[in-house]
């Protein structure tokens, strides 16, 4: 009986410890873009972060525009997104603080292997002109040549800027019969484009996962890495002075982890065993921009993603955390 009694006590103590650990965990809600979530990078980041902190990280995945709206509505403590113009507005409107650039990769234009618009070897502007010409030559209005995210995401915003640079009016163009709007995340848009043998703009990370790792699409990537297709990811904490209920302290903890040596190496190495010579899904950005590097990539990031010549102008930084910019 004594042994049985001791066993009961030990089991009870163990159950109590597990119970207390579970309910003692603080919750951090991160509103993020589908291109980070669908590649599974965030699963790896979450696992590493939760191993160090008693914090339960929960992700809300959507296009950048919707991800930002979640934060503005008070439904998230932190955003991880990739649209500098929308991020700037988020800061200016007082909803975000302490922006940090964490990673980069590139967009690419993908399409059918037989390349009916004949874009192989062309630059971005000429590629889009060829796609428009090919689309306008279709006599069957049911044929779709281009699929857009159409969801106010960072990728959708990038697409619109590329059309403008190529000399097209996006509003007019998007109403033409050959142009289709998926109104969905990157993965679903890739699937729709593949089903219709159409072209689309994709971040390279999601494309490689769907094409090479998961073998879900047969679309071919036609673009080389260049400034016009740069894609930069940033983390921004939701401003506690604007939305007092947010978990600001843990949002800062998460940002500090994202920019740490450990996480930056995780980002740099992510997927390298799955994608071989196809290239990395993401590249770490912290050291590249913090060391005032004169490398071309650092210059590209500064030109494309900095706001008022800074990853986060001092007026948008939380004064309690100067270490983020030291």
Q: Copy the structure tokens of residue 264.
A: 């930056």
Looking at 3.40.190.10, 3.40.50.1980, 3.30.200.20, 3.30.910.20, the CATH number of the domain 2-105+232-325 comes to 3.40.190.10
Please give the CATH topology (third level) of the domain spanning 107-228. Answer: D-Maltodextrin-Binding Protein; domain 2 (3.40.190)
Q: Copy the structure tokens of residue 72.
A: 């503005």
User: Is residue 70's pLDDT more than 70?
Assistant: yes
CA 171 to chain centre: 25
**pLDDT at site 24:** 59
Q: Copy the structure tokens of residue 296.
A: 């071309």
Question: Over pLDDT 70: what percentage of the chain?
Answer: 91
Helix (H) or strand (E) holding 125: helix 124-136
**pLDDT, averaged across the chain:** 91
Rounded to 5 degrees, what angle do the CA atoms 231, 40, 33 make?
45
Rounded to 5 degrees, what angle do the CA atoms 229, 272, 105 make?
15
- Ranges of each domain in the chain: 2-105+232-325, 107-228
Can you tell me which residue has the tokens 């009916």?
116
Can you tell me which residue has the tokens 């590329």?
162
**pLDDT at site 7:** 44
Average pLDDT, integer, range 99-104: 98
Matching fold, domains 2-105+232-325 and 107-228: yes
C-alpha span between 83 and 61 (Å, rounded) = 15
**pLDDT at site 246:** 97
At residue 271 the predicted structure's pLDDT band, cuts being 50, 70 and 90, is: confident
User: Is residue 14's pLDDT more than 50?
Assistant: no
Average pLDDT, integer, range 134-155: 96
User: Is residue 23's pLDDT more than 70?
Assistant: no
| Residues 160-191: tens digit of each pLDDT | 999 999 999 999 999 999 999 999 999 999 99
Average pLDDT, integer, range 30-35: 93
At residue 273 the predicted structure's pLDDT band, cuts being 50, 70 and 90, is: confident
User: Is residue 37's pLDDT more than 50?
Assistant: yes
On whether the CB atoms of residues 250 and 76 are closer than 8 A, the answer is no
**pLDDT at site 128:** 98
Higher pLDDT, 6 or 228: 228
């Amino acid at each position: 009986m004594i042994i049985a009694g001791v066993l009961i006590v030990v089991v009870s103590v163990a159950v109590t410890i597990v119970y207390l650990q579970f309910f003692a965990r603080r919750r951090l809600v991160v509103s993020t873009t589908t291109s980070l979530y669908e590649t599974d990078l965030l699963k790896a980041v979450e696992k590493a972060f939760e191993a160090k902190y008693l914090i339960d990280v929960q992700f809300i995945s959507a296009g950048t525009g919707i991800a930002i709206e979640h934060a503005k509505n008070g439904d998230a403590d932190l955003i991880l997104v990739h649209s500098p113009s929308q991020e700037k507005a988020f800061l200016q409107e007082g909803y975000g603080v302490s922006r940090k650039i964490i990673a980069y990769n590139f967009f690419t234009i993908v399409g059918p292997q037989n390349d009916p618009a004949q874009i192989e070897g062309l630059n971005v502007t000429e590629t889009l002109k060829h796609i428009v010409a090919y689309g306008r030559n279709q006599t069957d209005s049911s044929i779709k040549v281009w699929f857009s995210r159409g969801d106010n995401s960072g990728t959708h915003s990038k697409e619109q800027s590329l059309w403008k640079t190529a000399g097209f009016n996006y509003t007019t163009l998007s109403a033409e019969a050959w142009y289709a709007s998926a109104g969905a995340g990157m993965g679903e848009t890739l699937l729709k484009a593949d089903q219709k043998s159409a072209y689309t703009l994709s971040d390279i990370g999601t494309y490689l996962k769907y094409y090479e790792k998961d073998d879900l699409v047969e679309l071919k990537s036609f673009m080389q890495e260049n400034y016009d297709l740069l894609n930069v990811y940033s983390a921004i904490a939701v401003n506690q002075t604007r939305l007092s209920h947010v978990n600001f302290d843990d949002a800062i903890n998460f940002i500090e982890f994202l920019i740490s040596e450990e996480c930056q190496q995780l980002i740099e190495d992510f997927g390298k065993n799955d994608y071989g010579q196809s290239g990395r899904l993401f590249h770490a950005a912290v050291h590249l921009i913090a060391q005032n590097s004169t490398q071309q990539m650092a210059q590209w990031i500064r030109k494309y993603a900095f706001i008022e010549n800074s990853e986060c102008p001092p007026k948008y930084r939380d004064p309690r955390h100067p270490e983020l910019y030291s």
